[in-house]
A and B are shown apart, each in its own frame.
Chain A
Amino acid sequence: MICKKCVLPESKPDIWLNEEGICNVCLGHEKEKQPRNKTLETDFIKLLKMYKSSGKYDCLVMCSGGKDSTSALYYMKKRYKLNPLAFTFDHGFETEDAMENVKNAVEVLGVDFLFFKTEFMKDMFSEIIKTQSKASICHLCSIWYMDLTFKMAAKFNIPIIIAGWTKGQSTKQPLMSRCGCSMHQPEFHSMAKSTNDFLDKYIKSNPKYKDFPKSMEEVLSRAKIRQKCVVLSPHWFLPFDPETYVEMIKKELKWKLPKLSYPENSTNCYLNFISVYNTMRDYGYTHYHVEMSKLIREGLLTREEALKSLEVNFPKELLNSIGSRLGYRFSD
């Protein structure tokens, strides 16, 4: 049973549908809906000014090679005439297409580029898959990526981190502490709890990961101690839809849509396919369902578009070819 308004399935106790088939998240949104409080580009400009740096770089842009982060990098350099430091992190499973997009973007824009590649997370990913843990790979990865990003920002004395998050990936600006992956949101409650439980247990038994943060909240509290830093996304403030900025980066930055993707028309790493497979198996939905549901509620996406884009149609062979790198084979 899927909510009649968004694309979240019933997943008790976190998500439940009422008699009309509407989920508790949509009902809560209707109740909270504020009349006309649209964010404006000038709000973004004010925030950039408020956190302006005196150092070499104005902002650190988390760049995955996807359309949202590549266009965010473009905006920071071209629209706001800032000096960004592009930052890409590869845990060993990034796609060649994504890396090509990043390479093209930083070359065309002439921005400094910080590339970080490691297999540090491999054992942890392997453990999740092998034990069939309900922890979300993407959640773990984002905890680590954010922690690393905050560390890099502190290292280079950069007070603004720019992410390519869409309006579906965050509810309120400008603080990262309110980003989508919060345990307190019903859609993420079980996922976040499983991730925390997994980390709690796994970190204790693996000295390699003794410094790994146990939650996004911990990432934030660590960052707060390090320096004053804000995380923003231009997409929260600009009215341009993805069709518009995809055209722009294709033309200006030689950006290409990857051959293989989930959800449709997105750019994600290879592990994403396993993460999607696992979370669908464990919860019946993924964080993409949450993001798209939010976009539907904001009127930026239709339910039909979201359902089409979220169709899981990648083959088992793909999962096995990725799984084999972690020493795992999915049963037929």
Chain B
Amino acid sequence: MNILGISCYYHDSAACLIKDGIIIAAAQEERFNRIKNSFCFPVNAINYCIQESNITFLDIDYVGFYEKPFLKFHRVILDHLKTWPFSFLNFLDSMPKWLQDRLTLPLTLEKEIGFKGKTLFVKHHLSHAASSFLVSPFDQAAILTCDGIGEWATLAYGIGRGNQIKIYNELRYPHSLGLLYSTLTAYLGFSANQEEGTVMALASCGNPVFLDKFRKIFVIKPDGSFILDTSYFNFNKGRRMYSNKFIKTFGNDRKFNDILETRHCDIACSLQKFVEEVLITITRNIYNETKMEKLCLAGGSFLNCVVNNKILEDSLFKEIFIQPAAGDAGGALGAAAYIYHSILKKNRNYIMTHPYLGPAFSASQIRRILLNFNLIFKEFNETELTKQVAERLAKNQIVGWFQGRAEFGPRALGNRSILANPCNPQVKELLNSKVKKREPFRPYAPAVLEERADEFFEMRCKSPFMLLAPKVKEGKRTLIPGVVHVDGTARVQTVSKDTNPRFWQLIKDFENITGVPIVLNTSFNLRREPIVCSPEDAVGSFRKSKMDCLVLENYVVDKRGLVE
């Protein structure tokens, strides 16, 4: 039984292929077409999933789509009517898209991939719920989903038992925490639906002086649900998501290149605290209502690792699970898993323990590419390779690390990563100037040996997908200054020997040299580009940046050996 899951047309298009309940392949379209957060029909990702799964297009039994387009269209039309005539420009922009693609998915599937079989549409938040619970290690759990918006729902909760999911309740548009976060992201001069993580990082630099103002905009009920005062927002009235009233309350919006002021940091901090406050209240209520000990989270809001950590600490749940593609890309996985397990009633037989579901490249393919790029390289065996790279890291070199199958989701987790020495106090400036060109307030993340994580971080569970931001233990902060954020937290990835033995060994070798079982791990991409997917992408980024060394499987390319 082969089920193809698809998410597209909003942001983070992706495809996922589930074969008899096992995820064989999953990938985001942006990795192939090189358009960050690409929203188009994921034809490249679909081609990859089919070819990786060793099946043909004729072997697809069902296609699952991650939302119900007509339900969503209903909301869009009503919203246009409500805000008419101010929505006129948005109407002109969106209607052709709806009529050409979004409402005609079966036709698109037939045209683009020749699929004429059954297409099933799973509600957006149900897809999110399924993407987490059905691949979690839990037999039963409470589920909470939260993002900008699905069809109508912006937040939903329920429970999962066995292969079934029951949604108890949902909050509906326009009352949306995710949209609030995206609005503030845009207000602060960053790209909505892309740079929410930047706002999360900025939050640590400020004080929550605007918290009461957020509480005024969002009326929170005792159960944690909320009503948003729409007079502060312009969701569908123009090109801007916030109203003049919002500007009167918070001051002028920041433009892309404007200097970041204390006010901006304070607004980000207040927003972050407010979102944490609301989600803690909601999760506590869910705990009281469901009496479950475990919680599955999904939706773009749970890519916010600070929020996730708060939930883990304060919500009363003993364990939480979030899969690495918690945003809309994961909807492809959720839709496919929901069809297989919940609709077709097949038992669950898969736990998502790693994110390595994307393309891999053979040694001969990589060798060809290196030769054709006229690069000088050296091949090492596995033992020599990790030792050699660990030595380079200990010497404060910046290493592009390209191994095995690409990660599914927005985090680079040791297969498409840029690595550096976390003990070097200047590493952030070094990375920012040489490669990443990030805002200086953004932190870099540590990848730590799973079994040593609690020596360095105040955490009571694993964080294999870099979705938790625990405190770094007081006595350890000076040891790893390169990965400690201003608030003393770190966005941790715990690395297991079972799921990524080569990356684990590299960190172990680094520990043998430095005594620190941690490397700095950031995504292998240049500013505003998607994470690299193929060796060509990696070589391209390597050549454009000032990384010291590039490691593609067992081949090491030194910057000094670059022959132009």
Contacts and interface: CB of A to CB of B under 8 A. Distances in A.
Contacts of B57: 41-42, 45
Contacts of B536: 299
Interface string A207-246: 0000000000000000000000000000000111101000
Contacts of B43: 40, 42
Interface in B62-89: none
B310 interface: no
Interface string A274-306: 000000000000000000000010011111110
Interface in B328-382: 362, 364-365, 367-369, 371-372
Contacts of B371: 302-304
B169 interface: no
Contact of A81 (B51, B58, B362, B368): B58
B114 A302 contact: no
Nearest to A39: B47
A199 B111 CA distance: 45
Contacts of B362: 241
A41 B50 contact: yes
B34 interface: yes
B56 interface: yes
Given A81-B58, A302-B367, A296 B114 contact: no
B113 interface: yes
B388 interface: no
B33 interface: yes
Contacts of A80: 56, 58
A42 B113 CA distance: 5
Contacts of A299: 368-369, 372, 536
A36 interface: yes
Contact of B112 (A42, A81, A239, A305): A42
A237 to B, nearest CB: 9
A45 to B, nearest CB: 4
A38 B372 CA distance: 18
B554 interface: no
Contacts of B56: 79-81
B60 to A, nearest CB: 12
B44 interface: yes
A301 B365 CA distance: 9
Contact of A42 (B46, B365, B367, B368): B46
Interface in B90-124: 111-114
A296 B47 contact: no
A111 B369 CA distance: 38
A36 B33 contact: yes
Interface of chain A: mostly helix, strand, loop or mixed: loop
B8 to A, nearest CB: 14
B372 A241 contact: no
Contacts of B365: 241
A46 interface: yes
Contacts of A303: 371-372
A296 B372 contact: yes
Contacts of A243: 364
Nearest to B371: A302
Contact of B47 (A40, A81, A300): A40
B129 to A, nearest CB: 30
A49 interface: yes
Contacts of B364: 241, 243
A42 B50 CA distance: 10
Interface string A303-318: 1110000000000000
Contacts of A301: 368
Nearest to B365: A241
A29 B207 CA distance: 57
B541 to A, nearest CB: 14
B244 to A, nearest CB: 42
Contacts of B33: 36
Contact of B114 (A49, A241, A305): A49
A304 to B, nearest CB: 7
Interface of A: 36, 38, 40-42, 45-46, 49, 79-81, 238-241, 243, 296, 299-305
Pairs A-B, 7 closest by C-beta atoms: A302-B371, A45-B114, A40-B47, A79-B56, A299-B372, A302-B368, A42-B113
Given A41-B50, A42-B57, A81-B56, 8 more contacts: A42-B46, A42-B114, A46-B111, A46-B114, A80-B56, A81-B58, A243-B364, A302-B372
Interface of B: 33-34, 43-44, 46-47, 50-51, 56-58, 111-114, 362, 364-365, 367-369, 371-372, 536
23 contacts: A38-B44, A40-B43, A40-B44, A40-B47, A41-B47, A41-B51, A41-B57, A42-B57, A42-B113, A45-B113, A46-B111, A46-B114, A49-B114, A79-B56, A80-B56, A81-B58, A239-B51, A243-B364, A299-B369, A299-B372, A302-B368, A302-B372, A305-B368
